[in-house]
Structure 1
Amino acid sequence: MIRELSAELAEIAKEQLNENPKQIQSDLIQIKEWIYKQPHLKARTDDQWLVALLRAGKFSLEKLKRKLELYYTLRATAPEITLRLKPTEQEFVDFLKLGTCIILPKAETGISPRVILIRPGAYDPSVHSVADVICILYYLVQILVVEDDIASIIGTKIVIDYEGVTMAHVMQANPSLLKKMVAVTQDSMPLRLRGSHHINLPTGIEVIFSLVSGFLNEKAKQRLIIHKSVEELADFIPKDIIPVEYGGIGSSVANIIGYWVSKMREYKSWMQYEEKLGVDESKRINMTTHSASEIEGSFRKLDID
C-alpha cells in the first residue's frame, strides 16, 4: 500500500512531479510487468520503492525503466562502490558508526529538503576509502525514500564537511572512481538533489572540484555552494535540522549516528534481500536496455581537460 500524502505534499507532487494518485496503481502494474519480462534483471518491486523511483523521473515510465536498469547494472559495473560493504555485515555497521555519512532528522516545523551530512575526514584513509562513504549513502537512501515522502517529493540537500580531510583522502578520488561515484549518486539513486553545500575546505581540494564538475549535470553545478564559514549553513538549512556541532539546535552527530545504526538493524531482512538483486548479463534479451559492458564502456570514455 502507498501512503496517503498530506494535502500540501500532494499539491507539490502534482505540480512539480506530475503525480496523479489515481494513476499510481496503474503505473505500478505496468512497471512490475516490465520488470517480470526482463529475465536478466532481479529488482525490488515494493510499491513504495517504485513510487520513489517514479517521483525521481517525474512519473515518466521510460525514465523509471532507465534509472532502474542503471541502478542494478551498477552492481556489476561499479562493485567497488555498490558492493564494497555489505549492509548486513558488521563491517558496514562499524564504518557507519564513524559518522562519515548520516541523514539528519526532519525539520520540526514546515516542509524542507532532507539533509545528508557527509564527513570524509572522519575515516582513516589508510584503512578505508571514499568509496565506503558512497556505499553507506547508497543503502541509507533506500531507507530514506521508502520511509519519508518529503525526501522523495521535496528532495535532499547534501552538506559535505571537509574537516580533517588530508591529501591521503584526496588522492583516493581518482577520475575513474569519481565518475562512477557520480553515476551512482546523481544518475541512479531516486534522489532530487536540491543543492550541495561545502564547508571547511582544505587546500588542494580544488582539483577534486574541477574533476567532479565535469561529471555533474547543469542543475547540480548551479546548486553547488562553497561556504566561507559553517554559520552560513543556517541561511539555507533550518537551524533545528543542523546538528549542535555545526551551530544549529538539532540533535548531536552522535545521536544521529545511533539512530541510523538502529535503523540498519531494523532493515536487516530488507538488506538481506537487497544483496540478492542485480543483473545477469547472460539472460539479457531486451537489447533496448544498456548492458553492463556498455555502461562500463561509457565509464572508460573519460576526457579530462
Structure 2
Amino acid sequence: MIRELSPELAKIAKNELNENPNQVASDLQNLKEWISKQAHLKARTDDQWLIALLRGCKFSLERVKSKLELFYTLRTTAPEVTLRIKPTEPQFLEFLRLGTCVILPQPKNSLSPCIILIRAGEYDPEKYNVADIMCILYYLVQILVIENDTATVMGTAIAVDYQNVTLNHLMQASPGLLKKIVAVSQDSLPLRLKGSHHVNVPSGIEIIFKLVSGFLGEKAKERLKIYKNNDELLKSLPKEIMPDEYGGTGGPLNDIIEYWAKKIIEYRPWMEQEMEFGTDESKRTSKNKSNQGSFRKLDID
C-alpha cells in the first residue's frame, strides 16, 4: 500500500507528474509483472519504492523500466560506486558521521525540493575516497523516497560545499569514476534533480566541472549554479531548511547527521535485503543487452 498524498502534493503530482490515483494500482501491477519476467533482474517490488520511481519518471512506464534496469545493473557492474562501503558495515556509519553527505530535514507541509548537502572536504583522502560519499548518498536517498512523499513529488536539489577540499581530494575524481558517479546518482536513482548549487569552490576545480558537464543533459547544465560564499547560497535555498552553520534555521549539522545514523541502524534489516538485489549478467538476454553498463546522457526533469 502507498500513502495518500496531501491535497497540495496530490495536485502537484497530477499536474506536473501525470499521477492519476485511479491508475496507480494498475501501473504498480504492470511493473511487478515486468520485473517478474526479467530472468536476469532481482529487484525490490515494494509499492512505496515503485511509486517513487514512477513519480521520478513522470509515470512513463517505459522510462521506469529503463531506470530500474540501470539501477540494478549499476549495482552489479559498478560496485566501486554502489558497494564500496555497504550500509550494513560499521565503516558506513563511521563515514556517515563525518558529515560528508546528509539530507536536510524539511519543515512540515513544505512544498520545496528536498536538499542534499555534500561536504567533500570533511573526509581524509588518505583514508577514504570520493566514491564513499556516493555510497552514503545512494542509500540515504533510498530511505528518503520510501519515507518522504514531498521528495518524490517535488524533487531534490544538491548543495555542494567545497570548504577544506584539497588537491588530494580532487585527484581522486578520475573521469571514469566521475562518469559512473553521475550515472548512478542522477540517472538511476528515483529522484528528480531540480538544481545543483556549489559554494566555496577552490581554484583548479574548473576541469572537474567541465568533465561532469560533459555527462549532463542541457537541463542539468542550466541548473548548475556556483556561489562565492554561504550568504549567496542562502539567497537561493530556503533558510528554514539550511543548517545553522550556513546561516539557516534548520538546526545544527551534528543533530542532522545523527538523525541519519539512527535511520541507517533502523533500516539495517531493509539494507541487508537490499544487498541481495542486482542483476545476474549470465542470464541477460540479447533483448536487453544494450542496457548492460549503460552510461547514457542524463535525462533530468
Which TM class, normalised by the smaller chain length? over 0.9
Counterpart CA distance in 1 for 2:281 and 2:94 is 33
In structure 2, the partner of 1:76 is 76
Asked if 1:287 is matched to 2:291, the reply is no
Q: How does 1:168-247 map to 2 (within 5 A)?
A: 168-247=168-247
Contact 2:110 2:150 in 1 (8 A): no
Query: Is the 8 Å Cα contact of residues 69 and 289 (structure 1) preserved in structure 2?
Result: no
User: CA offsets per residue over residues 105-156 of structure 1, 9 Å max, x none?
Assistant: 0035641111000000000001111000011100000000110011011001
Show the counterpart of 2:299: none
> Retained in 1: the 8 A contact 2:70–2:291?
no
Deviations 1:185-223 (A, max 9, x none): 111001111111101111111111111111111111100
Q: Is the 8 A contact 2:162 2:200 kept in 1?
A: yes
Give, as a single letter, the amino acid of the residue that structure 2 aligns with 1:101: C
> Map of 1:107-126 to 2, 5 A cutoff?
107-108=107-108, 110-126=110-126
Paired residues of 1:199 and 1:226 also in contact (CA < 8 A): yes
The residue number in structure 1 matching 2:142 is: 142
CA distance in 2, matches of 1:11, 1:69: 29
In 1, the alpha carbon distance for the partners of 2:47 and 2:286 equals: 24
Amino acid at match of 1:226: I
How many angstroms does 1:237 deviate by?
Answer: 1.7
* Separation of aligned partners in 2, 1:25 and 1:232: 44
TM-score (norm 2): 0.96
How much has 1:283 moved relative to structure 2? Answer: 1.5
| Number of aligned positions between the proteins | 297
- Which AA in structure 2 matches 1:260? W
1:268 aligned to 2:282?
no
Output the CA distance in 2 between the equivalents of 1:184 and 1:132.
13
**Residues 244 and 250 in structure 1, CA contact (< 8 A), matched pair in contact too:** yes
Q: Which residue of 1 aligns with 2:90?
A: 90
User: Which letter maps to 2:100?
Assistant: T
* TM-score, normalised relative to structure 1: 0.95
Identity %: 61
1:153 counterpart = 2:131: no
- Deviating beyond 6 angstroms after TM superposition, the runs of 4 or more aligned structure 1 residues are none
Q: What do residues 225-258 of structure 1 show as CA deviations (whole Å, max 9, x unaligned)? A: 1011201222222211111100111111100000
Q: Do the aligned partners of 1:38 and 1:285 also contact (CA within 8 Å) in 2?
A: no
AA aligned opposite 1:27: D
Q: Matched residues in 1 for 2:289 and 2:149: separation? A: 29
Alignment of 1:29-108 (within 5 A): 29-108=29-108
Residues 239 and 248 in structure 2, CA contact (< 8 A), matched pair in contact too: yes
Aligned-residue CA RMSD in angstroms? 1.4
Q: Distance in 2 between matches of 1:253 and 1:147?
A: 21
Q: Which amino acid aligns with 2:212?
A: V
SS at match of 1:290: helix
Q: Report the residue type matching 1:78 in the other structure.
A: A
Report the Cα distance in structure 2 between the residues aligned to 1:217 and 1:149, rounded to whole angstroms: 26
SS for the counterpart of 1:134 is helix
- Using the alignment, how far apart are the partners of 1:242 and 1:268 within structure 2? 28
The answer to whether the 8 A contact 1:40-1:282 is kept is yes
Q: Which amino acid aligns with 2:229?
A: S
1:59 counterpart letter in structure 2: F
Q: Unpaired runs of 5+ in structure 2? A: 297-301
In 2, the alpha carbon distance for the partners of 1:199 and 1:259 equals: 24
Q: What displacement does 1:290 show?
A: 3.3
Are 1:69 and 1:290, in contact at CA under 8 Å, matched by a contact in 2?
Answer: no
